[in-house]
A and B are shown apart, each in its own frame.
Chain A
């Protein structure tokens, strides 16, 4: 059976970020208008800008098959792997006015090329390799069962393109924060049954740089061209920290544990009680805002905090279904 495939074209206006660190004081945008075909991907447009309009236009590309991760850029603010993203999809999503920019404007070297030094430093910091004592003359093969391989949850498909890293709002604000790609790599090896690292989880468990500072916005899952779902790995690293007994008694950890305590007691959350449990004496810093909230009726008094109906069920389930300890 043959299926007819009709190629269509449409006019698209591109606003393209330009900057040469050797020559330009400030970046600027160049406009290009092109007939784009339904067969093209974003990388084809970058090629046409260079080949047909301006030979000095610079960008990274290599495999053209979604494997090397070199060509990630932003289209209308969305991180995109240029060789994988179809122009049709981009026009469907954003219309015919498209802005093409590097993954990070503040790290730009020339046009689409950025200095990914921070990305690689953070990647390196999480021990992105197997840490294992290897018997050089093993008697048997070192087998990994299909179930154990499944536990990696596709984390090893990451191509280090940086799309998630430079889309992450926490990375943009907090320079220490490792970011979703590094966490996906950390998970990849921490979840490997052959790995013996005692350091990796401790490293990603640190405040500031580690998993506790993830803002839970799901941008990383949304932009990942390999559908790795980095935030899913971040959640699993949180859980591993508890399972391995390395979760420290700090505000972030108590914040997670406090939910269970509150649910066990009331079913619903005691919001004030949760903040008190999480912050301890540091809660005093919230007093000015709390007072303003109180005057507006935005704080429930301890005696007015609701309790779920059928608390006996909730208590029983919390007792029988809990799998984590702190």
Chain B
């Protein structure tokens, strides 16, 4: 099998508040024989907030990030749902609007770059599912997670808007019955927990301006997983992870119930199943204690 190679857009969080996500991404990539070329020139995607302030600037910056992946001739792989959305949305808009693409390229030309539209953009979750395949993952599992009930938490920006996601991923999934993360849990030998909140919002993006709304959404998500008898949660989004892992005190207060569960990054779950050590996966970085390894 030809070695898979991607241009890695880390986003900002993996280098700061979720260092374990970066560690586990690299550990899992090595296990799976994936080569990741980190786009060290990349800037922040705007995280859906810069877009509220300056849409054109966010387009130029995201186009610049993709242009670097194009320079490598590689598919860009993201490890954050919001990076995925903003980058894929930029690509969609530029690939479908020649005038806008020309305006953006006029700016990029000032720094000797060009957005061509030749690189795909996908999330690491979908790279694993589409390019490695669940059967292969299943074959590679050395420590099946069979004793665990695992609650998938998809995060909004990987599954909505489905029109964009369906054109981006080779294996389209429903925004209402997403399956990718459930399938990956099963491939890792775990038991997937089905619960109503698994495809709902965690509230991350209004943490500062609407803290009560954010806390209720976080609380409901963890409570749903707990009621589903989950031992832990897993998410492909570091922003969801931060909300679910670090904001449990506010969430508990907001919904009037103590809620807390370990919340693993998708890469950490796969890494555990593939035999990576807890240290390699950075499991000591969580606030909600990961006490099962």
Among listed B48-56, B120-128, B135-143, B228-236, interface-contacting one: B48-56
Query: Known contacts A77-B176, A271-B12, A300-B17: does B209 contact A213 (CB below 8 Å)?
Result: yes
Query: Known contacts A297-B19, A298-B285: does B49 contact A255 (CB below 8 Å)?
Result: yes
A197 within 8 A of partner (CB): no
Q: Are A292 and B19 in contact (CB under 8 A)?
A: no
B175 within 8 A of partner (CB): yes
Q: Are B210 and A169 in contact (CB under 8 A)?
A: no
**Residues from 208 to 237 in B contacting A, C-beta threshold 8 Å:** 208-210, 212-214, 216-217
**Residues from 11 to 63 in B contacting A, C-beta threshold 8 Å:** 12-13, 15-19, 40-44, 46-57, 60-61
Q: How far is the CA of A239 from the CA of B48 in the complex (A)?
A: 12
Closest-CB distance, A87 to chain B (whole angstroms): 16
Q: Which of B43, B110, B157 gathers most chain A CB within 10 Å? A: B43
Q: Are B53 and A169 in contact (CB under 8 A)?
A: no
Q: Are B174 and A298 in contact (CB under 8 A)?
A: no
Tell which of B47, B51, B200, B209 touches A252, judged by Cβ atoms closer than 8 Å: B209
B203 within 8 A of partner (CB): yes
Q: Are B57 and A174 in contact (CB under 8 A)?
A: no
Q: Are B201 and A321 in contact (CB under 8 A)?
A: no
Query: Known contacts A77-B196, A299-B16: does B212 contact A173 (CB below 8 Å)?
Result: yes
Q: Are A308 and B210 in contact (CB under 8 A)?
A: no
Closest-CB distance, A255 to chain B (whole angstroms): 6
Query: Taking CB as reference atom, which chain B residue is nearest A295?
Result: B287
Q: How many residues of A contact B (CB 8 A)?
A: 72
A263 within 8 A of partner (CB): yes
Tell which of A263, A268, A313 touches B111, judged by Cβ atoms closer than 8 Å: A313
B279 within 8 A of partner (CB): no
Closest-CB distance, B190 to chain A (whole angstroms): 23
B177 within 8 A of partner (CB): yes
Query: Known contacts A213-B210, A289-B246, A322-B54: does B161 contact A269 (CB below 8 Å)?
Result: no
Q: How far is the CA of A212 from the CA of B205 in the complex (A)?
A: 10
Q: How far is the CA of A101 from the CA of B135 in the complex (A)?
A: 38
B247 within 8 A of partner (CB): yes
Q: Across the interface, which residues of A come within 8 angstroms of B209, CB to CB?
A: 207, 212-213, 250-252, 255
Q: Which of A259, A293, A314, A324 gathers most chain B CB within 10 Å? A: A259
Q: Across the interface, which residues of A come within 8 angstroms of B42, CB to CB?
A: 267-268, 308
Q: Are B44 and A268 in contact (CB under 8 A)?
A: yes
B206 within 8 A of partner (CB): yes
Q: How far is the CA of A93 from the CA of B178 in the complex (A)?
A: 10
Q: How far is the CA of A218 from the CA of B89 in the complex (A)?
A: 13
Q: Which of B46, B52, B200, B203 gathers most chain A CB within 10 Å? A: B52
Q: Across the interface, which residues of A come within 8 angstroms of B216, CB to CB?
A: 173
Q: How far is the CA of A218 from the CA of B162 in the complex (A)?
A: 9
Closest-CB distance, A318 to chain B (whole angstroms): 7
B249 within 8 A of partner (CB): yes
Between A and B, 14 residue pairs with Cβ closer than 8 Å are A76-B176, A212-B210, A217-B200, A221-B161, A258-B49, A260-B53, A260-B54, A279-B208, A289-B249, A296-B285, A299-B16, A313-B111, A317-B61, A321-B60
Beyond A94-B177, A216-B48, A252-B208, 8 additional pairs, beta carbon < 8 A: A235-B51, A300-B17, A306-B16, A308-B42, A308-B43, A310-B111, A321-B107, A326-B53
Nearest first, the 10 closest Cβ-Cβ pairs linking A and B are A238-B52, A218-B160, A217-B201, A252-B209, A269-B12, A259-B50, A313-B111, A324-B54, A300-B16, A256-B53
B interface residues with partner A (beta carbon < 8 Å): 12-13, 15-19, 40-44, 46-57, 60-61, 64, 107-108, 110-111, 113, 156-157, 160-162, 174-177, 196, 200-201, 203, 205-206, 208-210, 212-214, 216-217, 246-247, 249, 284-287
